[in-house]
Amino acid sequence: MLKKLFFILISGVCALSTSAQQLEWSVDMNAVLNNREGGNNETPAQTFIFTRITPQIGVSMDHGRHSIMGGVTWYQPMIDNLAEYKVLPALHYHYKDSRKGYEFKFGVIPNELNNNIALFLRSDSINYIQPNIKGTVINIQKPHFWLYSWFDWRQFRTNYKREAFDATAQVGWRTTKGYNHLSASAILRYNHLAKSYKNPLENEGVVDNVVLSPQLGFTHHWHNGKISAWAGMLLTLDRDRIESSKWHTQAGFIGHLTGSWRWLSLIENIYAGKRQMPLYEKYGSLLYQGDQYYHNKFYSRTDLVATIFSRDFLNLEARFTFHATDKTTAFWQQLAVRFYLDRNLWNLHKKHKKGTNGIALQSQF
């Protein structure tokens, strides 16, 4: 595996001298108002209101197969001063072969998991504040097979900080890549928390978290509508080595349903079984990145989504979310705006305005 990654990186460098270069750029901006009512101590009532912008600039070679992009992600809460902001670097190498369906990214990768990850692996709040991956992404899309995997080094080990990383893979098979298909898939994750280098705390030990979720599903499209559903099992294994070598085992049923028609969508996620995240009280989000509602025996999340405005570069969405567990309920209201523009969209927009291209632009949302 390392030899393959090294070969791809060397190929990218060689392409600089053997093919035409193209300046690349993109701007990705999100503005979110999320008001949360209800919940409990683990999921308190609170309000997220922020803007997040990621400008990038770079160069591509070999007809876009190799590219290097750099920029920053600026997270800014809408408060009276500039406190609590975050400026995160974003610099990565990107290899893409659309004909073969291969894609590889390496470095600090911005906004990668926003729409590609299950809630029990990464919560909305984590996506808001920590949208970038520090590591690698491998994406393979074939007519009947797909693989989406990543390695995220969330925190590096120092004298005073613990090492935290996860290696995750989402793999699946489908009857066809068309609109209507059956599918079988699985999510696998190894999540790790290590000790700091010097003077670790007395109760500081190595922690392992393993996630396995096999699933069966189907997708059906019709005019102006779509329905997609899957069901499976969520199995997790947790071990705190400083306490014992014994593994905590949690298993339960997990299901998902999405129905959409025109500009309206209804999304249902449900879990029933043993409480997940057994070490949450001790390690919190340093270990567990998933939604804290899964720390219950029963959890239902229902999202009603209305796409108010959707164009080539801009999307405005209202979302109402209802949470119900065996202990509490909560109601969230969200208004979100996304603006996205890059070189390719800009060029297509100019051609469309000049009337040189009769093909309508496709929305990116």
Which domains occur in the chain, in start order? 2-354 (2.40.160)
The pLDDT score that the predictor gives to residue 362 is 38
Per-residue pLDDT tens digits of the chain, which is 365 residues long: 445 544 554 555 555 455 578 999 999 999 999 999 998 887 889 999 999 999 999 999 988 899 999 999 999 998 777 778 899 999 999 999 999 999 999 999 999 987 778 999 999 999 998 999 999 999 999 999 999 999 999 988 877 788 899 999 999 999 986 778 999 999 999 999 988 766 666 677 899 999 999 999 999 998 889 999 999 999 999 999 888 788 999 999 999 999 999 999 999 999 999 999 999 998 888 899 999 999 999 999 999 999 999 988 999 999 999 999 999 999 999 999 999 999 988 888 777 766 644 433 333 33
Rounded distance, CA 302 to CA 43, Å? 16
pTM of the model as a whole? 0.85
Q: Token pair for residue 200?
A: 């670790």
Q: Is 349 helix (H, G, I), strand (E, B) or coil?
A: helix
Residue 338: what residue type? R
Q: What are phi and psi of 12, to 5 degrees?
A: -65, -40
Burial of 338 (0-12, 13-18, 19+ CB in 10 A): buried
CB 132 within 8 A of CB 88: yes
